[in-house]
């Protein structure tokens, strides 16, 4: 009888913890656009872009903004604090310069906290917690949209040696706050999937281990419970798209050490989401889940969440391609073979690191039946056909625009390349889904091969029905307008001088 009463009590408190979703989460999701910081609309954000936002926060007397360090190149590192509660929560983002999703979400959260809305919920948060944000820990890396800092080291592997001023700042701030909870905010590859599913790991969580044995003390256990709570929230908006990051102990890593130093640490990794290259939907999910987690920490409702639910979150796997083509017929040396082809649409930075172009590659081929794609095309019955060079040499930009304006017609005729007499030096990629080659460029022998740019046609019954240009699939049977709309997603084709 005692056991039954205990079980009922545990279920009651667990349901109470999860019921917060109805209290605040749906409202946070539905009202997000009101608080989204409009000046940070793309991933490649720079240190100078967040300074006006920090100044605006600084003018609000409820916040404290102070400089806590500088990067190697002299860019300021700022700590934003709000609240008067005894429980300290510390969030830091962009330790890796090319991982900005949570930095954007932090400024959305600051806009939320500055607003006059959600008074009851914010009172519960700010009366019970003191929250500290350190956005963009690696501004020199952000300037170049690169993972490492100017010294060329991974700050997240500098927790022991502390050679980087950025790592020194993180350690100093953590120690001065002696934070109860820490949110270590990162981005991960878009090619991670939730284990044994075709779902991208849109968000992955981890309560880092603090020793090789992966022991679970009270602090790590509390971090796990908060993660279970956040997972329950995201299942509504990205069902099946949450992963659990590998928890092997890394003695050099900040997350593992901050857990070891007594802060209940939660790693959040922002991965991929269909048709969300700039990660704006993932940014929204960060905003909702982090604020909801902060709320449950303030209310302490996480405490009764079953710890075993943490292990039920599927592990991260890495078996996603941008485009997977299945069962295509490929002819080699007079014989036909059946191939799956895994293609990734890889980004190349433009000068200034404010934008990018695509240089796609075949990542794998053969039997890819255990892999998945953001886009998957079953090419059963289709033959892979190499593309041709258009016979005319184009002599002007105007002529190029005219010829490529009906690129669907060119592709239907099998032309995937056009020859330009003089390619402007400033032209780094073709603005059309047709490759541009120089006047004297010799097209190499066609091969489907790992490392090659994926460009070919798919023929069925003697008719060319699809083209793969720079790793993007174009349906040649679609209406021209729709095909053009789809091709806009390709962003560019290649130039071969």
Average pLDDT over residues 461-470: 97
Least confident range of 11-20, 115-124, 259-268, 425-434 = 11-20
| 18 band by pLDDT with thresholds 50, 70 and 90 | low
Q: What is the largest CA-CA distance in the chain?
A: 89
Q: Does 197 lie in the same domain as 121? A: yes
Query: What average pLDDT does range 296-300 have in this prediction?
Result: 97
Tokens of 29: 């999701």
Helix (H, G, I), strand (E, B) or coil at 220: helix
What does the angle CA 288 – CA 290 – CA 292 come to, to the nearest 5 degrees? 65
8 Å CB contact between 330 and 448: yes
pLDDT at 397: 86
**Are the C-beta atoms of residues 166 and 137 closer than 8 Å to each other?**
yes
User: How many Cα atoms sit within 13 Å of 350 on the Cβ side?
Assistant: 12
More confidently predicted of 8 and 188: 188
Q: Kindly state whether residues 395 and 294 are assigned to the same domain.
A: no
Residue 388 to residue 414: CA distance in whole angstroms: 6
Report helix, strand or coil for 135.
coil
One domain, residues 305 and 327: no
pLDDT tier, 487 (very low <50, low <70, confident <90, very high otherwise): very low
- What does each C-alpha distance from 393 to 34, 422, 495 come to in angstroms? 52, 10, 15
Does the pLDDT value for residue 11 go beyond 80? Answer: no
Strand order in the sheet with 242-244: 63-70, 76-83, 129-134, 87-93, 181-187, 264-270, 203-206, 242-244
Nearest alpha carbon to residue 339 among 448, 437, 263: 448
Tokens of 424: 């402007």
Token pair, residue 74, equals: 């002299």
CA neighbor of 206 nearest in space, from 346, 55, 310:
310
Residue 20 banded pLDDT, cuts 50, 70, 90: low
Do 334 and 278 fall within a single domain?
no
Residues 134 and 100 reside in one and the same domain: yes
Domain boundary among 265, 284, 317: 317
pLDDT-based confidence at residue 22 (cuts at 50, 70, 90): low
Task: Work out the pLDDT band at 3, boundaries 50, 70, 90.
Answer: very low
Residue 186 CA to residue 198 CA, distance in Å, equals 22
Q: Do residue 302 and residue 327 come from a single domain?
A: no
DSSP 307-347: GGGGGGSPBEE--EEEEEEEEEEEEETTEEEEEEEEEE--E
Q: What is the pLDDT of residue 17?
A: 54
Overall size of the chain counted in residues = 497
Would you say residue 16 has pLDDT above 90? no
Q: Which of 280, 296, 317 is the last residue of a domain?
A: 317
pLDDT at 489: 62
Tokens of 448: 């489907």
**Whether residue 220 sits in one domain with residue 358:** no
Confidence band, pLDDT 50/70/90 cuts, at residue 390? very high
* 164 and 311 assigned to the same domain: yes
- Sign of the dihedral defined by the CA atoms of residues 260, 305, 297, 193, in that order: positive
pLDDT band at 490 (very low <50, low <70, confident <90, very high): confident
70 — pLDDT class (breaks 50, 70, 90): very high
Confidence band, pLDDT 50/70/90 cuts, at residue 484:
very low
- Calpha distance 200→275 (Å, rounded): 12
Residues 6+ away with beta carbon under 8 Å from 79: 65, 66, 67, 68, 132, 133, 134, 173
Q: For the residues 252-262, what does the mean pLDDT come to?
A: 98
Please check whether residues 290 and 332 belong to one and the same domain: no
Q: Classify each residue of 45-69 as buried b or exposed e, where b means 16 or more C-beta atoms within 10 Å of its C-beta.
A: bbbebbeebbebbeeeeebebeeeb
CATH number at residue 282: 3.40.630.10
Q: What confidence score (pLDDT) does residue 137 get?
A: 98
Task: Kindly indicate the confidence band of residue 162, based on its pLDDT and cuts at 50, 70 and 90.
Answer: very high
- CA distances, 182 to each of 78, 90, 293 (Å): 17, 5, 11
The answer to whether residues 305 and 335 belong to one domain is no
Looking at the fold, whether 254 and 364 belong to one and the same domain comes out as no
Distance CA 448, CA 365 (A): 8
| Predicted local distance difference test score (pLDDT) of residue 478 | 76
Report residue 7's pLDDT band, with 50, 70 and 90 as the boundaries. very low
Domain that holds residue 411: 320-496
Q: What is the chain's percent helix, strand, coil content, to nearest 5?
A: 35, 30, 40
Count up the domains in the chain and report the number: 2
Per-residue pLDDT, 21: 54
Nearest partner of 447 among 348, 333, 350, judged by Cα: 333
Provide the sign of the torsion angle of the four alpha carbons 92, 96, 97, 100, taken in this order: negative
pLDDT, residue 249, reads: 98
Examine the pLDDT at 488 and tell me if it is beyond 50. no
When the pLDDT of each residue in the chain is averaged and rounded to a whole number, the result is 94
User: Is the confidence at residue 159, as pLDDT, over 50?
Assistant: yes
Q: What is the mean pLDDT of residues 345-367?
A: 97
CA–CA dist 57, 340 (Å, integer): 52
Note whether 301 and 361 are same-domain residues: no
Q: Which domain-ending residue is among 317, 344, 371?
A: 317
């Amino acid at each position: 009888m005692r056991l039954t009463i205990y079980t009922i009590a545990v279920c009651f408190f667990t349901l109470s913890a999860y019921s917060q979703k109805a209290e605040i989460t749906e409202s946070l999701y539905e009202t997000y656009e009101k608080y989204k910081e409009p000046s940070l609309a793309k991933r490649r954000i720079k240190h100078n872009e967040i300074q006006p936002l920090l100044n605006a926060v600084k003018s609000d007397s409820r916040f404290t903004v102070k400089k806590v360090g500088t990067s190697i190149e002299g860019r300021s590192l700022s700590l934003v604090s709000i609240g008067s509660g005894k429980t300290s929560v510390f969030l830091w983002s962009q330790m890796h310069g090319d991982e900005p999703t949570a930095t954007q979400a932090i400024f959305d959260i600051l806009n939320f906290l500055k607003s006059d809305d959600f008074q009851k919920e914010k009172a519960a948060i700010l009366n019970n917690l003191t929250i500290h944000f350190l956005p963009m820990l690696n501004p020199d890396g952000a300037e170049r949209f690169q993972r490492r800092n100017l010294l060329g080291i991974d700050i997240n592997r500098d927790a022991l040696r502390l050679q980087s001023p950025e790592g020194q700042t993180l350690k100093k701030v953590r120690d001065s706050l002696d934070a109860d909870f820490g949110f270590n905010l990162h981005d991960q590859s878009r090619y991670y999937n939730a284990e044994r599913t075709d779902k991208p790991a849109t968000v992955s969580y981890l309560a880092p281990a603090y020793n090789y044995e992966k022991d679970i003390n009270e602090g790590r256990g509390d971090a796990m419970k908060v993660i279970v709570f956040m997972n329950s929230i995201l299942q509504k908006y990205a069902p099946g798209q949450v992963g659990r990051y590998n928890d092997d102990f890394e003695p050099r890593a900040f997350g593992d050490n901050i857990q070891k130093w007594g802060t209940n640490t939660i790693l959040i990794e922002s991965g991929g989401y269909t048709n969300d290259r700039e990660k704006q939907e993932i940014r929204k999910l960060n905003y909702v889940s982090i604020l909801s987690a902060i709320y449950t920490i303030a209310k302490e409702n996480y405490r009764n969440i079953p710890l075993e639910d943490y292990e039920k979150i599927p592990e991260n796997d890495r078996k996603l391609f941008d485009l997977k083509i299945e069962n295509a017929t490929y002819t080699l040396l007079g014989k036909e073979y059946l191939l799956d082809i895994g293609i990734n649409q890889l980004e190349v930075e433009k000068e200034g690191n404010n934008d990018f172009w695509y240089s796609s590659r075949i990542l794998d081929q053969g039997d890819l039946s255990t892999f998945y794609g953001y886009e998957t095309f079953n090419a059963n019955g289709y033959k892979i056909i190499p593309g041709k060079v258009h016979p005319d040499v184009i002599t002007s930009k105007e002529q190029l625009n005219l010829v490529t304006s009906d690129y669907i017609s060119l592709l239907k005729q099998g032309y995937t390349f056009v020859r330009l007499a003089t390619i402007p030096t400033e032209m780094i990629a073709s603005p059309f889904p047709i490759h541009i080659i120089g006047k004297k460029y010799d097209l190499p022998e066609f091969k489907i091969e790992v490392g090659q740019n994926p460009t070919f046609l798919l023929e069925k019954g003697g008719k060319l029905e699809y083209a793969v240009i720079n790793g993007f699939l174009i349906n040649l049977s679609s209406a021209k307008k729709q095909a053009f709309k789809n091709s806009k997603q390709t962003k560019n084709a290649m130039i071969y001088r």
